[in-house]
C-alpha cells in the first residue's frame, strides 16, 4: 500500500494538485475487470482495445483515481489526471508502487530476432550453477528456482514486470535475465529500467505488419533502444547489423564471434553426438586463453548463443572455463529438445523454429548428423504475412527430405488456408498435408524409419493451440510419446506374429 501523493509524484503531479494526497492506494490496474476501491486505473491503448472505453466500468467497480490521455465521462467524484503517455505513466507508477525493485537486482536484457530464450536460459543456468541466485523472464515463462510460471508476453506489461522483480528481490534473487522484445520496447514495457547489461543476438526481418511494426526500420529502432539504457553491452559481430548497434551504445562494450577475432570467440566448431543428444564442440578463446568447450545443442548458432552467455557471465566474475563447464548440462524447454520415445531408433526433436530463417537453421543443423531421412512437421500462425509462409515453405523444400504440413496456432484463420499458402512454395518437394496437428504427429510417427530424425517445429515450449481466440490445451510431447508407444507395441505384435 502506498499514499496517493507518493505514487503521483512519480509521474510529476505535485501534492497541491491532488484532492486527497494521503489516500491509501492498494494497487495499480489497467484492466477494468480488476478494478476495485482503492486502486488507480490507468487507461492504456492496446493493439485491440482502448482502456479509455472501460473507465466507466472501472468506476462502477469502485475505482476513483484515473490516469488518462483523453477526456473521460465520469461522475464528479472521480479524480482524473492527464498524462501525455499513459504507458509510461503505468511503468512509473508501478515502479513506485513496488518500491523500485529493479534497483535491487542486476537486470540483464537480451534482444534480437532469434536466440533470446536460449541465451537467457543459458545465462541464468551459468549463474545458478556457480552459486549466484538468478531468475529469467521470457517466452518460455518466468523461472525462479525450480518454478516455471507462464507469461502472456515475451516481455510482460510494465506493471507485471515490476511485480515480478519485487517477487524476485524478496526471494533473494541477484540477477534477473529477461528477453526484451521489440514490442516490449515499442509499448514502453521496460520504461524506466536501467539495465546492468544488454545483449544483441542477431537481427532479421520479423514481426513486421499488422499490429506490430510498420517496417524493418521501426523494428530495428526498437531493438536499438535497449542499448541506450544499459551499463554493459555485448554484440554478435557475425551479424551484419552489429556495427550499427555497437556505435549507438554509450557504455562498456564487448563482442563475440564464431567467424572472426572478438573478445569472446569460437573456433574449430564440430558437431558432436552424445547419449543425451546432439551438441557442438568448439575451442573458446578469451584474452588469448583457449578452452575446450561444449554446448548440448546443434548448429553454429548454438555456439554463438553460448558465447553470448559466457561473455555476459564474466560480469559476475565467472571465468569462461567455469561458464563452459556449466553449459555442458544446460537444457532449454522446446529448443532442440530431444524427446525420448518408445521408438528408440528414431530421433524426435521439438523446436520453436517458426519462421523461414530459424527453420532453415534448424534443418541445416540436424542434417549435419547424417540422418537416414530428415522429416519436418510444421505449420504457421494465423494472421501472419504471406512472406513468412513463403519463407517457411522454401526452407522445408530446401532442407527436408519429407515435409508434413499442419496447423500451428491458426487462431481465426482456417488451418487449411494457411497450409495452402505454404504449399504453394514447396510444390516440387515431397510433402503431405494433415490439418489436425495431433493427427499429423501420429502420421509422422507411423512413417518414421530407423535412423530418421523427425523435427516438430513451431510449437516448442507451448502447451496449447490458439484456435478462434482461445488457447486449447495441446501437449505435443504427450501426443508424440503416446503415438510412438502405440507404434512400438504394433511393431512388437507384428514381430511375434
Given a contact cutoff of 8 angstroms between Cβ atoms, the answer to whether 400 and 480 are in contact is no
Q: Sheet harboring 374-378: ordered strands across? A: 337-338, 347-351, 453-457, 374-378, 402-405, 431-433
Distance CA 284, CA 416 (A): 47
171 & 319 share domain: yes
pLDDT score of 210 more than 90 = no
Given a contact cutoff of 8 angstroms between Cβ atoms, the answer to whether 65 and 133 are in contact is no
Cα torsion 74, 80, 84, 88: sign: negative
323 & 349 share domain: no
Task: Tell me what the mean pLDDT of segment 439-464 comes to.
Answer: 95
> Is residue 424 assigned to a domain?
yes
> Is residue 34 assigned to a domain?
yes
- Per-residue pLDDT tens for 305-324? 999 999 999 999 999 999 99
pLDDT band for 289, please (50, 70, 90 cuts): very high
pLDDT score of 211 more than 70 = no
Q: What is the DSSP letter of 193?
A: P
pLDDT score of 7 more than 60 = yes
378 & 472 share domain: yes
pLDDT band for 61, please (50, 70, 90 cuts): very high
Which of 115-119, 151-155, 434-438, 443-447 is least confident?
151-155
| pLDDT attached to residue 168 | 97
Three-state DSSP at 231 gives strand
Distance CA 377, CA 435 (A): 11
| pLDDT attached to residue 429 | 79
265 & 141 share domain: yes
The beta strands (E) that lie in 201-286 are given as 230-236, 252-257, 264-274, 277-286
> Is residue 466 assigned to a domain?
yes
| pLDDT attached to residue 477 | 95
Task: Tell me what the mean pLDDT of segment 58-78 comes to.
Answer: 95
CATH number at residue 137: 3.40.1190.10
Cα torsion 46, 50, 51, 57: sign: negative
CATH number at residue 74: 3.40.1390.10
| pLDDT attached to residue 490 | 77
190 & 126 share domain: yes
| pLDDT attached to residue 130 | 97
| pLDDT attached to residue 493 | 63
Grid coordinates 525493485 are at which residue?
101
Q: Among 302, 327, 352, which residue terminates a domain?
A: 327
Grid coordinates 517477487 are at which residue?
167
Distance CA 233, CA 195 (A): 10
Distance CA 36, CA 357 (A): 47
pLDDT band for 277, please (50, 70, 90 cuts): confident
pLDDT band for 207, please (50, 70, 90 cuts): low
pLDDT score of 88 more than 90 = yes
pLDDT score of 206 more than 70 = no
Task: Tell me what the mean pLDDT of segment 450-478 comes to.
Answer: 94
Task: Tell me what the mean pLDDT of segment 138-147 comes to.
Answer: 91
269 & 376 share domain: no
Mean pLDDT of the chain: 93
H or E element, residue 421: helix 415-423
| pLDDT attached to residue 208 | 62
Q: Among 327, 351, 382, which residue terminates a domain?
A: 327
Domain with 128, as residue range(s), is 101-327
- Per-residue pLDDT tens for 344-364? 999 999 999 988 989 999 999
| pLDDT attached to residue 209 | 61
| pLDDT attached to residue 1 | 82
> Is residue 212 assigned to a domain?
yes
> Is residue 223 assigned to a domain?
yes
353 & 441 share domain: yes
367 & 317 share domain: no
Given a contact cutoff of 8 angstroms between Cβ atoms, the answer to whether 379 and 408 are in contact is yes
Distance CA 111, CA 115 (A): 8
pLDDT band for 268, please (50, 70, 90 cuts): very high
pLDDT score of 276 more than 60 = yes
- What angle do helix axes 300-313 and 320-327 make, rounded to 10 degrees? 130
Distance CA 303, CA 327 (A): 11
| pLDDT attached to residue 227 | 97
pLDDT score of 104 more than 90 = yes
Residues 6 or more apart whose CB falls under 8 angstroms from that of 431 comprise: 396, 402, 403, 404, 405, 423
Q: Among 97, 115, 132, which residue terminates a domain?
A: 97
Task: Tell me what the mean pLDDT of segment 69-95 comes to.
Answer: 95
> Is residue 332 assigned to a domain?
no
Rounded to 5 degrees, what are φ and ψ at 418? Answer: -65, -45
Q: Do strands 347-351 and 374-378 pair parallel, antiparallel, or not at all (unpaired)?
A: unpaired
108 & 84 share domain: no
Q: Please give the share of the chain, as a percent, with pLDDT higher than 90.
A: 82
Given a contact cutoff of 8 angstroms between Cβ atoms, the answer to whether 168 and 132 are in contact is no
Cα separation values, 423 from 151, 356, 386, Å:
33, 14, 12
390 & 376 share domain: yes
Q: How many domains in the chain? A: 3
Amino acid at each position: 500500500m502506498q499514499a496517493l501523493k507518493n505514487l503521483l509524484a512519480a509521474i510529476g503531479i505535485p501534492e497541491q494538485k491532488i484532492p486527497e494526497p494521503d489516500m491509501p492506494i492498494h494497487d495499480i490496474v489497467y484492466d477494468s475487470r480488476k478494478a476495485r476501491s482503492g486502486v488507480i486505473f490507468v487507461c492504456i491503448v492496446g493493439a485491440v482495445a482502448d482502456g479509455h472505453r472501460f473507465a466507466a466500468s472501472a468506476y462502477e467497480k469502485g475505482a476513483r483515481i484515473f490516469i488518462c490521455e483523453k477526456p473521460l465521462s465520469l461522475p464528479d467524484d472521480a479524480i482524473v489526471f492527464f498524462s501525455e503517455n499513459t504507458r509510461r505513466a503505468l511503468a512509473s507508477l508501478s515502479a513506485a508502487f513496488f518500491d523500485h525493485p529493479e534497483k535491487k537486482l542486476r537486470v540483464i536484457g537480451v534482444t534480437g530476432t532469434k536466440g533470446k530464450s536460449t541465451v537467457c536460459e543459458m545465462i541464468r543456468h551459468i549463474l545458478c550453477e556457480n552459486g549466484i541466485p538468478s531468475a529469467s523472464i521470457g517466452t518460455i515463462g518466468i523461472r525462479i528456482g525450480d518454478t516455471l510460471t507462464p507469461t502472456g508476453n515475451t516481455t510482460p506489461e510494465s506493471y507485471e514486470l515490476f511485480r515480478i522483480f519485487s517477487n524476485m528481490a524478496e526471494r533473494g534473487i541477484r540477477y534477473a535475465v529477461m528477453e526484451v522484445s521489440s514490442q516490449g520496447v515499442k509499448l514502453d514495457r521496460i520504461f524506466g529500467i536501467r539495465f546492468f547489461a544488454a545483449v544483441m543476438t542477431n537481427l532479421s526481418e520479423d514481426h513486421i505488419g499488422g499490429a506490430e511494426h510498420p517496417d524493418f526500420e521501426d523494428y530495428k529502432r526498437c531493438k536499438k533502444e535497449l542499448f541506450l539504457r544499459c551499463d554493459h553491452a555485448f554484440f554478435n559481430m557475425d551479424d551484419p547489423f552489429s556495427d550499427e548497434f555497437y556505435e549507438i551504445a554509450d557504455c562498456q562494450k564487448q563482442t563475440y564471434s564464431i567467424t572472426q577475432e572478438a573478445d569472446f570467440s569460437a573456433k574449430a566448431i564440430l558437431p558432436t553426438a552424445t547419449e543425451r543428444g546432439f551438441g557442438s564442440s568448439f575451442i573458446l578463446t578469451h584474452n588469448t586463453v583457449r578452452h575446450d568447450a561444449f554446448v548440448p545443442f546443434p548448429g553454429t548458432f548454438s555456439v554463438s548463443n553460448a558465447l553470448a552467455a559466457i561473455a555476459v557471465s564474466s560480469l559476475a566474475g565467472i571465468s569462461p572455463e567455469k561458464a563452459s563447464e556449466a553449459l555442458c548440462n544446460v537444457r532449454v524447454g522446446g529448443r532442440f529438445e530431444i524427446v525420448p520415445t518408445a521408438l528408440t531408433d528414431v530421433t524426435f526433436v521439438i523446436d520453436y523454429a517458426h519462421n523461414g530463417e530459424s527453420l532453415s537453421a534448424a534443418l541445416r543443423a540436424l542434417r549435419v548428423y547424417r540422418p537416414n531421412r530428415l522429416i519436418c512437421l510444421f505449420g504457421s500462425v494465423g494472421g501472419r504475412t504471406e512472406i513468412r509462409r513463403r519463407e517457411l515453405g522454401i526452407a522445408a523444400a530446401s532442407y527436408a527430405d519429407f515435409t508434413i504440413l499442419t496447423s500451428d496456432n491458426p487462431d481465426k484463420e482456417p488451418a487449411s488456408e494457411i497450409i495452402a499458402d505454404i504449399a504453394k512454395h514447396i510444390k516440387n518437394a515431397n510433402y503431405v498435408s494433415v490439418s489436425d496437428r495431433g493427427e499429423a504427429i501420429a502420421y509422422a510417427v507411423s512413417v518414421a524409419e530407423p535412423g530418421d530424425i523427425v523435427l516438430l517445429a513451431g510449437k516448442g515450449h507451448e502447451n496449447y493451440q490458439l484456435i478462434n481466440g482461445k488457447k486449447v490445451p495441446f501437449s505435443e510431447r504427450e501426443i508424440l510419446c503416446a503415438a510412438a508407444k502405440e507404434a512400438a507395441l504394433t511393431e512388437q505384435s507384428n514381430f511375434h506374429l
